Structure 1
Amino acid sequence: MKKMLKGLRAALCVALPFIAQAPADAATPAATGAADQTLVQRGAYLAQLGDCAACHTAPKGKPFAGGLPMNTPMGRIYVTNITPDARTGIGGYTEADFARALREGVAKDGHNLYPAMPYPSYAKVDDDDVKALYAFFMHGVAPVQQANRESDIKWPLNMRWPLMFWNMAFLEKGAYRDKPGKDVAWNRGAYLVQGLGHCGSCHTPRGVAFQESALDESGSAFLSGALLDGWFASNLTGEHNAGLGRWSDEDLRTFLKTGANRHASAFGAMTSVINNSTQAMSDQDVAAVSTYLKSLPPVGGTGAAAYTYDPQATKVSLDRPANDAGARVYTAYCMHCHGVDGHGFAPMLAPLAGNPNVLAKDASSLINVTLNGTGDLVIDGVPSPFPMPGFAAVLDDQQIADVLSFVRAGWNNGAPAVGAAEVAKLRQSTQAGR
């Protein structure tokens, strides 16, 4: 029973079909009437804010045609086609059908969607933006006839009806409403972060039923960082060490537009967010998001004193690497990019001294990126020249543990050491199927 409950919790995080396949004789609302191109263009921008392409476009696949495989503890699933094809996509959806799926997690045929489709966040999207998104998906996306693949998830974990009760407990219906006493920029930023941006889906811890522990700033856990799919999504509050407390407004805007700044570089799923979403945001919306995030009080810190840089002890270790296993690995594989001083060559090569990801309590992201590297940041069509390579085939578990422990202690970072067992666990989970 305990094992089944664990599996059920895991199933709730699966990004199963966003929209059900339309029947062959379905009406095609997309074919009726002339599209308002201004509305379609607006919807295209909103789809970028929602990062819809990241999940619904497979590598080398056609836009929004689905097919992206996702591994889960219960089996592999394939993301669905959300082009306006009437047979295999969402061409049979009316605007009301679309709105219900987007904001309530209920598909046209009445089946419930798993809450990894971030409808608890999209519930806050207002009617005008839903209309624009619908116009884009019906008139701005090319229809692709590509049948959806069935998942490998077996009964009873593939049952949907229990999600009705999940929605009753955790879904807060109703579009975002401006908060009194807050200015236009703050409210716009809150709307984007909590709604289309669905930042909390990754950056907010989950409860026992896989619900987000908080949906806005009124909850103390909101955006305080969370472990998800082998990565630790960073703390986005004003916490000084592992959060955004040392980031200026300009630092945050630069990161959202380029994926890198003087403090850190994007990796893991955040690379896709930068590539497909935030770099396309208007300067006004970037400023609004920064305004909102910078207003969040510090939460979820390590309890350590505020970080201050101190290179001396680390320099001594690097001068005598034979005496320190982590220093030996660092000098051989890391120092040429990240430097003796730990400052790297930001923003092209990430710093390690004071990097919020290095200072975080959970080292999962550091282990994962060391094992597997990260994809290219592609800004204005130009790939980053120095992506992080993976070392899974070069370094064993103990070597990776040693070098990450060295980095987390170095330059006064003061973060806990990493054990070889932690590395082995992530190696097994992230290398499976490669």
Structure 2
Amino acid sequence: MRHCWIFYAVGLIAASVQAADPEMIARGAYLAKVADCESCHTAGSGHAPFSGGLPINSPFGVIYSTNITPDPTTGIGQYSYEEFSRAVREGVAKGGKRLYPAMPYPSFAATQDRDIQALYAYFMEGVKPVHHIPPQTELPFPFNQRWTLRFWAMIFATQKPYEPRADRDERWNRGAYLVQALGHCGACHTPRGLAYQEKAYSEWSPDYLSGSVIENWSTADLTGNPASGLGRWSEAEISTFLETGHSRLGIAFGSMVTVIENSLQHLLKEDLDAIAHYLKSLPAGRKGRSYYQPLTTQNELILTGLETGVDKFEHPGAGVYAGFCAKCHEDNGMGRLPRISRLSGNSMVLSENPVSIIRQVLEGGKGPLTKKGPKPKKMPGFAKKLSDREIADVLTFVRNSWGNTAPPVIPREVSIVRKEMLQE
């Protein structure tokens, strides 16, 4: 009789432990791609996914990402759904520890309940537990006083779960939800205030997605500005860029390469199109730089400053461009699409802040490697070959040729970026 009660009790326990719905786990896996969880919570190649330890540079010091595998002692294996939801949407870990807003919980707060449930199912049932203790984040005083983040969150992290706008169609609302919530695009593309808060969380503000500076990269203006933004991009071009990192108006570089490789290229076509549809609806934010398209009789962009041997070296930076850049980007700045970016009309070339193009010239890089995109071509770095003055001159030349019109780059700007890169 005693054994029967034991078997009965075991049966009750087994019945109470129900595996998550496979469809929900799969949905959670997809949403984890949308949120790009792997990029921040994986220390790099050779490290287990989601096991944490990636160093994230912030104005206050280095913040290390946490282990979000279901390991019961070093990860989130003992989190209840309510604790998981609070960590993701409110920035409060199990036990009440406040998370730094390097974790984009102000954006994740807009995530709807059903998606949080799917993410919880995936991280508890679909992710392999990894026993790993990442390095501890140790910021200097007063930034190590995490209790103060409670008041920061009360003032700035005010998002609620996304509610569709009745005056917009279903595709627009889907795109807005993906961008504002799990996609957390504003975390990088919206300028920050004095308290390091995002100045806006939705399209109701002209600051939203108007570009920012993160880790010595200037992020793109995603509003409708015709020069530095998406004003000249079609919805189809935006969608293709998100999937492949390549378009006729630019190629992804810097931290956006990782976002496309680990996240965006895996999204459904209808979601990419929805994001493009939403972004294309945004009016121009802050005042952008200008671009005009000069034409020849063949309706092609003409050469500015390099047309003749007489003019070739009259423009500061033109000689440097001819010697180091024209071989790949062409004399007329049109590049060799889709592998080599055009510079004429390039949105990042016309960006208000030139830090990204300065950094690109200094250290080089290559575009993303994706399933549907071309094989990326590596651009060499010129930090050891060109002086601050030469880089400033050539970028000023590029920013004011082939229809581009943008402020000059000064040597001091190049010097600052060069020094900050050495400190990373």
User: Structure 2 length as normaliser, TM-score?
Assistant: 0.90
SS of structure 2 residue aligned to 1:315? coil
Identity %: 46
Instruction: Determine the C-alpha separation between the residues in 2 that align with 1:238 and 1:68.
Output: 34
SS of structure 2 residue aligned to 1:175? coil
1:40 and 2:31 matched: no
Note closer, same or farther for the CA distance 1:84–1:377 as it changes in structure 2 (3 Å cut): same
Map 1:248-327 → 2, pairs under 5 A: 248-302=234-288, 304=290, 306-309=291-294, 311-316=302-307, 320-327=311-318
Note closer, same or farther for the CA distance 1:351–1:225 as it changes in structure 2 (3 Å cut): same
**Paired AA for residue 33 in structure 1:** Q
Alpha-carbon contact 2:338-2:374 (below 8 Å) kept = no
Residue deviations 1:316-339 (CA, integer Å, cap 9, x gap): 377654444411211121111110
Residue deviations 1:269-301 (CA, integer Å, cap 9, x gap): 111111111111101101111111111111113
Instruction: Determine the C-alpha separation between the residues in 1 that align with 2:129 and 2:374.
Output: 29
**Paired AA for residue 357 in structure 1:** M
State the match for 1:3 in structure 2: none
Instruction: Determine the C-alpha separation between the residues in 1 that align with 2:19 and 2:370.
Output: 34
Note closer, same or farther for the CA distance 1:87–1:417 as it changes in structure 2 (3 Å cut): same
For structure 2, the residue ranges without an aligned partner over 5 or more in a row are 1-15, 295-300
Instruction: Determine the C-alpha separation between the residues in 1 that align with 2:395 and 2:67.
Output: 41
Map 1:225-264 → 2, pairs under 5 A: 225-264=211-250
**Paired AA for residue 174 in structure 1:** K
Map 1:160-171 → 2, pairs under 5 A: 160-171=146-157
State the match for 1:53 in structure 2: 38
RMSD over aligned Cα atoms: 1.9
Instruction: Determine the C-alpha separation between the residues in 2 that align with 1:106 and 1:300.
Output: 34
For residue 329 of structure 1, the aligned residue among 314, 320, 324 is 320
**Paired AA for residue 378 in structure 2:** P
SS of structure 1 residue aligned to 2:56? strand
SS of structure 2 residue aligned to 1:427? helix
SS of structure 2 residue aligned to 1:356? coil
Residue deviations 1:211-258 (CA, integer Å, cap 9, x gap): 111110111211111122211111111111111010011111110110
Note closer, same or farther for the CA distance 1:103–1:317 as it changes in structure 2 (3 Å cut): farther
Instruction: Determine the C-alpha separation between the residues in 2 that align with 1:34 and 1:342.
Output: 57
1:202 and 2:188 matched: yes
State the match for 2:11 in structure 1: none
**Paired AA for residue 49 in structure 1:** V
Residue deviations 1:125-160 (CA, integer Å, cap 9, x gap): 111100111111111111111112112423332111
CA shift for structure 1 position 74: 4.7
State the match for 1:126 in structure 2: 112
CA shift for structure 1 position 375: 4.6
Map 1:107-122 → 2, pairs under 5 A: 107-122=93-108
State the match for 1:346 in structure 2: 337
State the match for 2:394 in structure 1: 403
State the match for 2:121 in structure 1: 135
1:384 and 2:370 matched: no
Alpha-carbon contact 1:121-1:215 (below 8 Å) kept = yes
Decide which structure has the larger Cα Rg and report it: 2
Note closer, same or farther for the CA distance 1:319–1:68 as it changes in structure 2 (3 Å cut): farther
**Paired AA for residue 97 in structure 2:** H
CA shift for structure 1 position 308: 2.1
SS of structure 2 residue aligned to 1:77? strand
Map 1:4-19 → 2, pairs under 5 A: none
**Paired AA for residue 379 in structure 1:** T
Instruction: Determine the C-alpha separation between the residues in 1 that align with 2:404 and 2:75.
Output: 50
State the match for 1:184 in structure 2: 170
Instruction: Determine the C-alpha separation between the residues in 1 that align with 2:58 and 2:111.
Output: 29
Instruction: Determine the C-alpha separation between the residues in 2 that align with 1:425 and 1:201.
Output: 24
Deviates more, 1:74-83 or 1:87-96: 74-83
